[in-house]
Structure 1
Amino acid sequence: MSTSFDDLPVVVIGGGPVGLAAAAHLAEREIPFVVLESGDAPASAVRQWGHVRLFSPWRYNVDSAARRLLADAGWVEPDLDVLPTGAQLADDYLRPLADLPALKPYIRYDSRVVAVTRLGMDRVRTSDRATTPLLVRLAGGDDLLARAVIDASGTWTTPNVLGASGILAHGEDQAAAYVEHALPDVLGTDRDRFAGKRTLVVGAGHSAANTLLSLSELARQVPGTSVVWAIRSTSPARTYGGEADDALPARGALGSRLHSLVDDGTIELVTGFAVRSVEATEGQVTVSGGRATITADRIVSATGFRPDHTFVSELRLDLDPILGSTRALAPLIDPNEHSCGTVPPHGADELAHPEPGFYAIGVKSYGRAPTFLLATGYEQARSVVAALAGDWAAARDVQLDLPETGVCNSNPVLDDDTITGGGGCCGTSAPATAEPAGRGLATGISGGLLRAPLTLISVTETSGSDQAGSCCN
């Protein structure tokens, strides 16, 4: 194993959109690299929400360096105004990118990182730290040495808990069999788990809204299906948004549809509900939220995600105590002050830690802030790779065009065949696969029968891939 520092590769953790964007920029600058993807294919986590349609069209979902490399290989870019599904993002862009000769030999699949440290030293030792190789340990026991590490592992595998205090609610572990991850495919592969059942959705973001709309459609199709929505606030107004007066028609349509389903009783809304305990008994689960108690057959936890910094605990990180991002980045992405579209441009300087050569990019860089956009992650990747190349002029020339609304165009157009329009937070679930008439009305457009209520979905980096989460919520 070579220990010559200058000859070592840059290790990229995660083979999703942002991780592969970093690889594309490294390839363009002829910097040796290795991509470690925990799944068995590129963007393996994206495929877990492949039924969800992205909030932004193709023009904003392809990294600049990746576009150049693909174009040289004869890749035909999809219609720039079409909103892809997660599956289409993985199949039509990320798989061809990962298969390019400039990237494919340097991507290792089924490679889960369990620790990153310095060779022969822990985080206490300072002498020669900047010129000592980083050591990356894999789950199988292999060690890799690196001159730098770019962590694009995301947050998909570390969702927030149901407990309102930020820790597990009493009994939450014991009731895990009744709890679903965010964004289940309610009208597709997961249908049988919800049909004819009473489902509690916890959360006030747009991932929750997406699931609520799908469950409401399932309730229309299958007798005995019912939906309960529990939020901590005393009003759902934040989730409804501006409705007819919203600057984003798609977001307004989502809010209006959700509002009408609550008003007509399709969705039972419980406000001021802070989960304290979860108890499974006789095939159901009872959730206590203080003054109220809800009994259901299933729970969908749409409470957001958080970063996992445990495998880099021997590195010198300077994390904001609230968000878990770098301290320099925290005030720029604070969700109390910013929406997706008002985050200022930022790059290598704001993403740097006291540990030389280590950067977290993508949604993980945002910690618990839900204001991340995929275009931001691509610019992070470009800036960080420029810094690693010593091109600080390029690293600091950060360009980020995010309108204050958080979208690139606020007027998506729906027709019977596809969905087109500008980017940002506007999207819908994917069209259903061939099924009897009526299937998929809440997941997109099925046979031109009905147009689905729009949902607001953001793309965020996950463990080795990207995930759909809340945007501007």
Structure 2
Amino acid sequence: MTGGKTVAIIGGGPVGLAAAAHVLERGLEPIVLEAGDNVGHAMRQWSHVQLFSPWEYNMDKAATRLLATSGWNSPEPGQYPTGAEMVERYLEPLAAHAALEPHIRTSSRVTGISRAGFDKLKTRGREAAPFEIRYQNGQGPKLLKADAVIDASGTWHSPNPAGANGLPAIGEKNAADRIAYGMPDVLGSDRARYAGKIVAVLGSGHSAIGTLTDLAKLAEQAPGTRPVWLLRGSDPAKAFGGGANDKLVARGELGAAFAALVTAGRIKLESGFRVSHVIADGPRLIVGAVSACSARQAVVDELIVATGFRPELDFVRELRIQLDPAIECPLALAPLIDPNEHSCGTVRPHGARELAQDEPGFYFAGMKSYGRAPTFLMLTGYEQVRSIAADIAGDRAAAERVELVLPETGVCSRSLAPDASNCCGGPALSDVDACCVADEKAKQQGKTGCGCASNRE
């Protein structure tokens, strides 16, 4: 493709707007379709949350080059923004830039994508046909044709359910008024809902431990507030992260502080709790976990489900796409991000080659490209769309080139060493050169380590 081609970008979040900036630099025309009333709609839902990475890891280079032409005041690179600050100081000025603003359509929810005149089955002449994007806004159904499509719509509005089998727990939908998903603002706008209540949080990721940490703070202010951690797995230490060895310092600090709260008994732990049903019993919720060997329950007032997200794929079903059957991400990306296999370290930077589909000109990008995997970093998405824009413009050399070096995470999902089941054990307690407890103990015994850090991808 050459200059003058139209690129439809689904999603007006950080990665979607970065894609638009890169497309503009390539002399192509972006059209951003954002389902929300404003750019950064999903990020506004967790505006109270501080990001684990500082500003320098959360701004795209093409976007900052564009902003610099308008006299924009760049934030201090080492400071940690909240979701609200990301929107106010970065996304809104970017969307308001004279070069980009005419290309953004808010309140425009995409409902379907196909090739003009071609259903999924028809092949001959398919590649030459433009994409046809249907979307809905306040004026009714609309139609847009484009030469390429970048789906950066994210996963925020498709949270995973409470059920341990990937399906909604029995009764989950009927108890929806007492269940929240993601990371509610328990110390701010949602305080009245949770103060003085028994609140269970299901999950083991950073959203779960961040919410539980905030609930522990709320318990200091509002007597009767009792946080309960429902953990599907049996080892809580895996949720504590890399501690002082995490190159994203704020994330390491959160894990260490959370571990201290659990150890002190300020957060009640229910491990091995695989939710099967949720029953409303008067003013209380009975959250049950049934297995072949036992039946358990937690009686609470509120349930927060922080079990991650999954991509919404219905509107791309008329396109020829291939996804990993487990992770629901592009096939070439799956081995790089699989949380079942990924070891300590970072995901290798990747771009158009890993994200391209059998439908030429269509790409997933951003959080949605990761499917159900939870390890996405903003910089990764920016590198994706830089490469994709180059690929769409026909600059293969730039599309293949890697222009990103990511910080090491210091977090071990699973070591590939033979003793993987005993690896990590949480962050190292004192040895700053050790990546986990097991590594620290091995080095204290005169060994080279547990092998965890050497198995980085």
Normalising by structure 1, we get a TM-score of: 0.82
Rounded Cα–Cα distance in structure 2 between residues aligned with 1:63 and 1:35 = 17
Can you list the C-alpha shifts for 1:11-47, whole angstroms capped at 9, x where unaligned?
A: 0000000000000011111201210011111111111
Match of residue 170 from structure 2: 170
State the distance in 2 between where 1:351 and 1:381 align. 10
Partner of 2:229, secondary structure, is strand
Report the AA paired with residue 93 of structure 2.
Answer: P
1:416 is matched with: none
Q: Corresponding residue for 1:331?
A: 335
1:405 equivalent in structure 2: 409
Q: CA RMSD in A?
A: 1.8
Given that residues 39 and 92 in structure 2 are in contact (C-alpha distance below 8 angstroms), is that contact kept between their aligned partners in structure 1?
Answer: yes
Change (3 A) 1:106 1:309: same
1:248 is displaced (CA, Å) by: 6.5
Question: In structure 1, the residue corresponding to 2:107 is in which secondary structure?
Answer: coil
The answer to whether the aligner puts 1:133 opposite 2:130 as a matched pair is yes
Aligned-pair CA distance for 1:406:
5.9
The corresponding residue for 1:21 is 18
Matches within 5 A, 1:43-82: 43-82=40-79
Q: Is the 8 A contact 1:338 1:371 kept in 2?
A: no
- Code of the aligned partner of 1:285: L
Q: Are residues 1:319 and 2:319 paired?
A: no
Matched with 1:378 is 382
- Match of 1:279, SS state, is strand
Shifted more, 160-169 versus 288-297: the winner is: 288-297
SS of structure 2 residue aligned to 1:135:
strand
1:153 is aligned with what amino acid? S
**Higher RCO (C-alpha 8 Å, min separation 6):** 1
Q: Following the alignment from structure 2 to structure 1, what is the Cα–Cα distance between the partners of residues 3 and 128?
A: 9
Q: Which amino acid aligns with 2:399?
A: A
Conservation of the 8 A alpha-carbon contact between 1:8 and 1:145: no
User: 1:340-379, aligned counterparts within 5 Å?
Assistant: 341-379=345-383
Alpha-carbon distance in structure 1 between the residues aligned to 2:363 and 2:305: 30
Which residue of 1 is the match for residue 429 of structure 2?
none
Indicate if the aligned counterparts of 1:316 and 1:355 stay in contact, CA closer than 8 A: yes
**Which residue identity is paired with 2:22?**
H
1:404 Cα deviation from its structure 2 partner: 2.9
1:202 positional shift = 0.3
CA distance in 2, matches of 1:18, 1:159: 19
Q: CA deviation at 1:388?
A: 0.4
Aligned length: 403
What is the CA distance between 1:251 and its match in structure 2? 4.3
Q: How far off its partner does 1:80 sit?
A: 0.9
Q: Is the 8 A contact 1:247 1:405 kept in 2?
A: yes
User: Aligned with 2:68: secondary structure?
Assistant: helix
Structure 1 CA distance for aligned equivalents of residues 270 and 336 of structure 2:
33
Name the counterpart of 1:229. Answer: 229
The Cα of 1:250 is off from its aligned counterpart by 4.5
Give the conservation status (yes or no) of the 8 Å contact 1:339–1:371. no
Classify 1:359/1:406 alpha carbon distance in 2 versus 1 (closer, same or farther; 3 Å): farther
- 5+ residue gaps in structure 2? 412-457
Q: Letter of the aligned partner of 2:54 in structure 1?
A: P
Q: 1:147 to 1:248 in 2, by over 3 A?
A: closer
Residue 87, structure 1, aligned to residue 91, structure 2: no
Aligned residue among 6, 9, 29 for 1:9: 6
Mark the CA change 1:87 to 1:70 in structure 2 (over 3 Å): closer, same or farther: same
Provide the C-alpha distance between the structure 2 equivalents of 1:200 and 1:370, rounded to a whole number of angstroms.
21
Change (3 A) 1:246 1:390: closer
Contact 1:13 1:19 in 2 (8 A): yes
Q: Secondary structure at the match of 2:41?
A: coil
Asked whether the 8 Å contact 1:175–1:279 carries over to 2, the reply is yes
User: 1:118: how far off?
Assistant: 1.0
CA distance in 2, matches of 1:244, 1:185: 27
Deviation at 1:131, TM superposition (A): 0.7
Q: 2: CA distance between counterparts of 1:71 and 1:339? A: 39
| Gap change, CA 1:247 and 1:354, over 3 Å in 2 | closer
Would the alpha carbon gap of residues 372 and 341 (structure 1) be closer, same or farther in structure 2, given more than 3 Å must change?
farther
| 2:247 and 2:408 in contact (8 A); partners too | no
Asked if the contact 2:3/2:393 (under 8 Å) is kept, the reply is no
On the 8 A contact 1:316/1:354 being kept in 2, the answer is yes
Q: What is the CA deviation profile of residues 136-180 of structure 1, one whole-angstrom value per residue up to 9, with x for unaligned ones?
A: 001231111111111000000000010000111111111111111
In structure 2, what residue type is equivalent to 1:309? L
Structure 1 residues 358, 340: closer, same or farther in 2, change over 3 A?
farther
2:287 counterpart letter in structure 1: V
Q: Does residue 282 in structure 1 map to residue 282 in structure 2?
A: yes
Match for 2:192: what amino acid? D
TM-aligned CA distance change 1:393 to 1:217, over 3 Å: same
Judged with a 3 Å threshold, the aligned counterparts in structure 2 of structure 1 residues 267 and 298 are, in CA distance, closer, same or farther, namely same
What amino acid is aligned across from residue 332 of structure 2 in structure 1?
A
- Which residue number in structure 2 is paired with residue 389 of structure 1? 393
Q: Which amino acid aligns with 1:367?
A: G
Q: 1:249 to 1:375 in 2, by over 3 A?
A: closer
Partner AA of 2:352 in structure 1: A
- Structure 1 residues 105 and 199: CA distance shift in structure 2, 3 A: same
Read off the aligned partner of 1:185 and give its amino acid letter.
Answer: D
- Give me the whole-angstrom Cα distance separating, in 1, the residues matched to 2:119 and 2:188: 48
Match 2:100 to one of 94, 100, 103:
103
Tell me, in whole angstroms, the C-alpha distance in 2 between the residues paired with 1:192 and 1:148. Answer: 46
1:121 aligns with 2:125: no
Contact 1:6 1:147 in 2 (8 A): no
Q: Which residue of 1 aligns with 2:205?
A: 205
**What is the alpha-carbon distance in structure 2 between the residues aligned to residue 245 and residue 344 of structure 1?**
19
Q: 1:253 to 1:28 in 2, by over 3 A?
A: closer
Once residues 361 and 59 of structure 1 are traced to their aligned partners in structure 2, the CA distance between those partners, rounded to angstroms, is 20
Which amino acid in the other structure matches residue 396 of structure 2? W
